[in-house]
Structure formats: structure tokens, C-alpha cells
Amino acid sequence: MASTSVISATVPQLASPPNNALAANVTGRYNGLKCCQLPQRINLRSSTKNCPSRAVRIICQSTIQQVQDIIATQLSVDPSTVQPETKFSELGADSLDTVEIVMSLEEKFGVSIGEQDAENISSVKQVADLIEKQRSI
């Protein structure tokens, strides 16, 4: 069998960047501290379009927001980057992340999402809809 060699290396020291090469959208401090500040964006319209009455609209909004927060926490991303239409693949989630997200959501909402449903989840809104469906049963 052909052998596969693994090359292990530390990242080489970079040359000093030219003064005008700084990326415009990176702010804040580094070395373990928060690196960016993004404005809060909550898209109410897309999370409520399927809910008829005002009371139900509030419940719908709350579920998707909680789902967004849990996903953002699990993936350690800024919550404002997790929108209903966002796909898990866009957030860098792999199979393990997806399974752990589903587990967290099942625990939070007290529902059980079937294995087949879990394996077909690809977007934030899809999982929120699944939870709403389970809760209404």
C-alpha cells in the first residue's frame, strides 16, 4: 500500500504587511478577544410570514430566534450572521455540528426530531419549522 506522509509545520512568520493592506472590516483586539462588532439584524418578516394571528406570530418569532441563538452558540458565530435562510454548510457546520445542534434543540424545546429528519436538515428555517411541527403535535 502506498504510504502517505504527513507534513507537519508551524505557520511561517509573515513579512510585515504594507501600510495600506489592512482589511477594512476587521476591528477590535486580537489574542483571544472578540474581533468584530456587527450590528444586530433581526429579520422579523421572514420568520413570521407563515403565522396567521398576532399571538401565533409572536410564538413563531420566538422559536426561530431561539433556534438562531442555539445554532450561533453551537458554532461560535455572531448570532446576527445566523438568519432563517442561512444554510448550515454556509456556517461551516459539519455532520457532528449538525447532530449536536439537533440534540441541543431537542433538549431546549422538549421535542424529538427523527433521525431521517435530522439528517436532511440543511437550513436554519428548516429546523425551526421542524420544531414548530413537533410542538404542535
Partner 1 sequence: MRWLLNSRTWSPSSSQFSYCLSLLPTPQQDEIIRFVKFEDQKRYILSRLMQQMLIHVVFNIPYKEIVISRTKEGKPYVEPCYLNASAPNVNFSVSHHGDYVALASETLCLVGLDIMGDEGNDEPEEYIKNFRSYFTVLEWDNINSAGQDGRQLLDQFHRYWCMKESYIKAVGIGIGFELRRAEFFFKDGNIWGDSPCLRLDGIERTDWHFYLFHLRDNHWVCVSKGPPGDAIESFKKTLHTINQLWKGKQI
Q: Which residues are catalytic?
A: 94
- Residue 76 zone, left/alpha/beta (φ > 0; ψ -120 to 50; rest): left
Q: Which residues contact 58 (CB under 8 A, 6 or more apart)?
A: none
Rg (CA), the chain: 20
Residue (1 or 55) nearer to partner 1, CB: 1
Separation CA 3–CA 14 (nearest Å): 32
**In the complex, minimum distance from the CB of residue 40 to partner 1, in angstroms, rounded to a whole number:** 13
Residue (29 or 54) nearer to partner 1, CB: 29
Residue (22 or 137) nearer to partner 1, CB: 22
For partner 1, the binding residues (CB under 8 A) are: 1-2, 4-11, 14, 16-17, 21-23, 25-26, 29-36, 38, 76-78, 81, 87-90, 92-96, 98-99, 103, 115-116, 119-122
**In the complex, minimum distance from the CB of residue 53 to partner 1, in angstroms, rounded to a whole number:** 34
**CA dist 103 → 28, 91, 127 (Å):** 33, 18, 12
**In the complex, minimum distance from the CB of residue 110 to partner 1, in angstroms, rounded to a whole number:** 16
- Can you name the residues that pair with 123 across neighbouring β-strands? 87
